[in-house]
């Protein structure tokens, strides 16, 4: 985390304490294979981190090299279900592959596009919702100012640290505005606070 982010977030006493408690690495998240990162995010939907890692490792083991969208479409749904994907997730990963082949998702442009345009492209694909898009922006593209109101972990951390009900999304959204333009860094600190517990 750079000094500007630390200085800004430290205006919030809770964030200041988290910054002093945790070491935040400048680089984090997935490798720069945006297609596989999207598949990994889909894999993790509504699963524990441990379960998601096991299933994603099985997925990668199906292919001798990093799979392409064409490889995914050529893989039978039965095989994908056999490694732990639900029926809906099989459909979602194939939807992503097809969207890339059809050029509806232009991954090669993402580095130069604003968050809003990336979000607009991704949300057109069935299976990619707001949470998945936010995780992609934070962990894959390393965009600095993303907050995921739909993430239960973040809302739980805020409940623990700020004593705001995790169901009071309006109050949580208002709180997160104090962290602009470094909300992604705030999210990372909040997630780390949960790991400590």
Report the C-alpha gap between 35 and 40 in whole angstroms. 9
Structure letter (DSSP) for residue 9: H
Question: Is residue 78 flagged as an active site residue?
Answer: no
Q: What is the DSSP letter of 66?
A: P
Coil vs helix vs strand at 73: helix
Angstrom distance (rounded) from CA 134 to CA 145 = 10
The count of C-alpha atoms lying within 13 angstroms of the C-alpha of 87, restricted to the half-sphere facing its C-beta, is: 0
Q: Percent helix, strand, coil in the chain (nearest 5)?
A: 65, 0, 35
Selected catalytic residue, list 109, 151, 167, 168: 151
Nearest to 89 by CA among 153, 124, 132, 49: 132
Q: Apex CA 47: angle with CA 160 and CA 22, to 5°? A: 40
* Catalytic residue list: 151
């Amino acid at each position: 985390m750079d000094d500007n982010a630390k200085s800004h977030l430290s205006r919030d006493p809770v964030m200041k304490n988290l910054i002093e408690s945790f070491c935040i690495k400048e680089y984090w998240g997935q490798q720069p294979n945006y297609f596989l990162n999207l598949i990994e995010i889909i894999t993790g939907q509504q699963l524990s981190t441990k379960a998601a890692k096991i299933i994603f490792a099985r997925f990668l083991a199906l292919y001798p090299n990093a799979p392409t969208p064409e490889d995914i479409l050529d893989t039978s749904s039965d095989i994908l279900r056999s490694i732990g994907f639900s029926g809906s997730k099989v459909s979602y990963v194939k939807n992503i592959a097809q969207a890339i082949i059809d050029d509806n998702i232009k991954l090669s442009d993402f580095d130069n596009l604003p968050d809003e345009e990336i979000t607009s492209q991704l949300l057109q694909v069935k299976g990619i919702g707001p949470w998945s898009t936010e995780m992609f922006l934070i962990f894959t593209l390393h965009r600095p100012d993303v907050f995921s109101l739909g993430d239960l972990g973040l809302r739980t951390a805020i409940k623990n640290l700020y004593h705001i009900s995790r169901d009071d999304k309006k109050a949580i959204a208002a709180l997160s505005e104090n962290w602009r333009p470094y909300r992604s860094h705030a999210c990372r600190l909040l997630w780390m606070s949960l790991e400590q517990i």
